Amino acid sequence: MFFKMITDTKLAQNAFLIGCQRTGEALIIDPERDVDTYHKAAAAEGLKLVAAAETHIHADFASGMRELASQGVKVYVSDEGDANWKYEWAKENTYDAVFVKDGDVFRVGNIEIKVIKTPGHTPEHVCFLVTDIGGGATEPMGMATGDYIFVGDVGRPDLLESAAGVVGAMDSSARVLYNTLQGFFEMPDYLKIWPGHGAGSACGKALGAIPDTTVGYEKRYNTSVSFAAKSEQEFVDFILDGQPEPPLYFARMKKMNKEGWNILGQMPAPKAFSVPDLKAFLTDPENVMIDTRFDRDAFAASHASGAIYAPFNKTFNTVAGSLVEAGQKMALLIAENHVDEAVRDLVRVGLDDVVGYVTPEVWGQYVDELQPTENIERIKFNQLPATLDKTNAFILDVRYSSEFAEGHLPDAHNLAYTRLIPRLSELPLDRTIAVHCKSGARAASAVSYLKRRGYEVIYIDDAVENGLQLTHDAVPA
C-alpha cells in the first residue's frame, strides 16, 4: 500500500493519497479544488487516480470532488445526516457518484475502505477506516478522520450556526459530537489517525502541529477527548467556549461544496499587467487590487486605490477570503514567481476571477509616473490619547472575541477582521475608525478594507500590550 499526506500549509488542510501498487489504482481523500496536484502526485508513483472520497461538506476550503467527478473519477460522498446536508451536485446522472452510509465498504485495488458515521462537527460527517488487504491485513491500519479527531483537539461543532447560519445548531451539534465521541473510547489504541487539519486551521481551537497520531495517544492527551469522558454538559460548555470567529468565506464554502462548484478544467492564467493595463483595471471601482507585499509600511505609505492588503504569507487565503467578495475581478501586486501559487490559493477559497497581476517593478513604474495612489495614517498607542482628543475616533479591535475577552481598551468595539463584511453596519460612518489588533498585522488588512468602503481610518500599528499599559482602566480578563 502506498500512502502520502498532501498538505496545504496555508489552510492547514490535509488530503490523503492512498494507492495499491499491485493494481496501479489510487484514492484521494478530502481533495481541494486544484485537483491537478493529486493527479501529478499519483503519477509520480506510477499510480492512476480512480477514486475520491470526502469526509463531509467542508466549510474551510473549496472541494475538488466535483472537479474530479467531471474527469471520470469515481466519487464516494456521505449519505448520512438529514436532507438539508446532502451533496446536491452528486445527484446529477453524469457523474459516477456513490452515496455511502455507516458500515459501507468499498475497495480501491487491494485496499479496503470502511465508512463509519461520526456526526457532530457536521450532521453528515463520516470517517474512513483503511485496511491493506493486499498486504495480508485483516484489521485497519488507520482512519482518515476529517474534522472528527485532530491531534490535540476535535472538530468544532458550532460552524453550522456560526458560519452557515443555522440558528440554534451549535448546542445540539455539540451534544451529538459528545455522543459520537463515546464510540472513540472503544476504538483500538494502535489505530493511526490521519486528521483533516493541523495547527493553523480554524476548524478547531487547539490543533497540534504533529501530522498524525494514534487513538491511544489521543485518549490520553487530547483535552477535548478527555472532556468527552465527563458529563455531557461539561463537554458542551468546554467545546463551545473560545472558538474563534470563522472567516467569512466559510459560509460560501459550505453552500458551494454542497451545490457544486463550476468546473475549472484548468487553473486561471492571469495576464501580466503593464502600467496602462493597471490604469484601465483601476477605473472600475468594483475591481479590487490585492496587495501581497510583506512590507506593511510600504503598503501604508503608498498603494492602489481601493487595494486590499493581504500579505503573501500563511494568512493570505483567510484575508482574501474574508475581505474580497465572490465575483469581484482581482489583480495581484505580487512577485512573478509567486503568481501561480497565489492563484491556486485563491481558487482554494472560491475566488476564481484573477484577471491580472502587477510585479513590484511595474508597480514602481506606476508610482514613478505619478499615477494616483493612496496612503493610510499610522500611529502608535502612545499617540492615541492625542488622536482621540482631536478626532473623537471610534476604537475598533479586530482581534478574535476570545482575545478581546482576555483584556481590551476601554470603549473599544470588538469585531474580528474575518467578519467585517457582514457586520459593517456596526461602525459609524460619521467618525474616524482607529483600528488595532494584537501586533498590527490583522489591523493593516482591516484598515485597507474599511478605507475601500469609504471610512476615515487610522491604523494603530503597534502591539496591543502597549495600549493596555497606557491606561489604568483597561478592561482585564
Q: Is 411 exposed, middle or buried (0-12, 13-18, 19+ CB in 10 A)?
A: exposed
> Which triple of cell numbers denotes residue 160?
453550522
Phi-psi bin for 265: left (phi > 0), alpha (psi -120 to 50), beta?
left
- Number of Cβ within a 10 Å radius of residue 415: 22
Q: Is 474 exposed, middle or buried (0-12, 13-18, 19+ CB in 10 A)?
A: middle
CATH superfamily of 271-368: Rhodanese-like domain (3.40.250.10)
pLDDT at 474 over 70: no
pLDDT at 272 over 80: yes
- Number of Cβ within a 10 Å radius of residue 88: 11
Assess contact for 298 and 392: CB atoms under 8 A: no
Residue spans per domain, the chain: 2-259, 271-368, 377-476
Q: At 75, is the secondary structure helix, strand, or coil? A: strand
Residue range 358-362: mean pLDDT, rounded? 98
What pLDDT band is residue 167 in, cutting at 50, 70 and 90? Answer: confident
Query: Please, what sign has the CA dihedral across residues 130, 211, 26, 36?
Result: positive
- Number of Cβ within a 10 Å radius of residue 365: 15
DSSP state of 211: S
pLDDT, one tens digit per residue, over 309-356 is 999 999 999 999 999 999 999 999 999 999 999 999 999 999 999 999
CA nearest to 257, candidates 122, 380, 391: 122
Regarding pTM above 0.75, the answer is yes
What pLDDT band is residue 476 in, cutting at 50, 70 and 90? Answer: low
Which DSSP helix (H) or strand (E) runs through 378? Answer: strand 377-379
Q: Which of 20, 127, 203, 437 is catalytic?
A: 437
Q: Which residue has the cell 464516494?
A: 76
pLDDT at 51 over 80: yes
Q: Which residue has the cell 471610534?
A: 394
pLDDT at 468 over 90: no
Tell me whether the CATH fold assigned to 271-368 matches the one assigned to 377-476: yes
CA nearest to 458, candidates 374, 396, 382: 396
Query: How high does pLDDT run on average in the chain?
Result: 96
Q: Is 337 exposed, middle or buried (0-12, 13-18, 19+ CB in 10 A)?
A: exposed
> Which triple of cell numbers denotes residue 399?
482581534
Residue range 47-54: mean pLDDT, rounded? 99
pLDDT at 199 over 80: yes
Residue range 132-154: mean pLDDT, rounded? 97
Assess contact for 63 and 347: CB atoms under 8 A: no
What pLDDT, on the 0 to 100 scale, is given for residue 302?
96
Measured distance CA(358)–CA(107) in Å, rounded? 48
pLDDT at 195 over 60: yes
CA nearest to 467, candidates 413, 407, 418: 407
Query: Please, what sign has the CA dihedral across residues 298, 301, 304, 309?
Result: positive
What pLDDT, on the 0 to 100 scale, is given for residue 164?
86
Report residue 290: phi and psi, to 5°.
-100, 115
Measured distance CA(91)–CA(82) in Å, rounded? 16
Assess contact for 78 and 87: CB atoms under 8 A: yes
pLDDT, one tens digit per residue, over 227-268 is 999 999 999 999 999 998 999 999 999 999 999 999 999 999
pLDDT, one tens digit per residue, over 2-20 is 999 999 999 999 999 999 9
Q: Where are the alpha helices (DSSP H) in 107-231?
A: 159-162, 169-184, 215-221, 223-228
CA nearest to 446, candidates 281, 205, 247: 247
By DSSP bridging, strand 126-132 and strand 111-117 are: antiparallel
Measured distance CA(237)–CA(178) in Å, rounded? 11
Assess contact for 24 and 47: CB atoms under 8 A: yes
What pLDDT, on the 0 to 100 scale, is given for residue 469?
82
Residues 6+ apart with CB under 8 A from 338: 292, 312
> Which triple of cell numbers denotes residue 386?
492625542
Measured distance CA(48)–CA(313) in Å, rounded? 33
Residue range 436-465: mean pLDDT, rounded? 97
DSSP state string for 224-263: HHHHHTS-HHHHHHHHHTTPPPPPTHHHHHHHHHHH-PPP
Please indicate whether residue 203 is annotated as part of the active site.
no
Residue 457, strand partner residues: 433
Exposure letters 425-457 (e unless 16+ CB within 10 A, then b): eebeeeebbbbbbbebbbbbbbbbbbbbeebbb
By DSSP bridging, strand 149-150 and strand 153-154 are: antiparallel
State percent of the chain over pLDDT 90.
Answer: 91
Beta strands in 264-379 (DSSP E): 271-272, 288-291, 308-309, 330-333, 354-358, 377-379
Residue range 64-78: mean pLDDT, rounded? 98
Beta strands in 109-171 (DSSP E): 111-117, 126-132, 142-146, 149-150, 153-154
Q: Where are the alpha helices (DSSP H) in 302-460?
A: 316-323, 339-347, 360-368, 384-391, 401-405, 441-452
> Which triple of cell numbers denotes residue 94?
453524469
CATH superfamily of 377-476: Rhodanese-like domain (3.40.250.10)
Classify domain 2-259 at the CATH class level. Answer: alpha beta
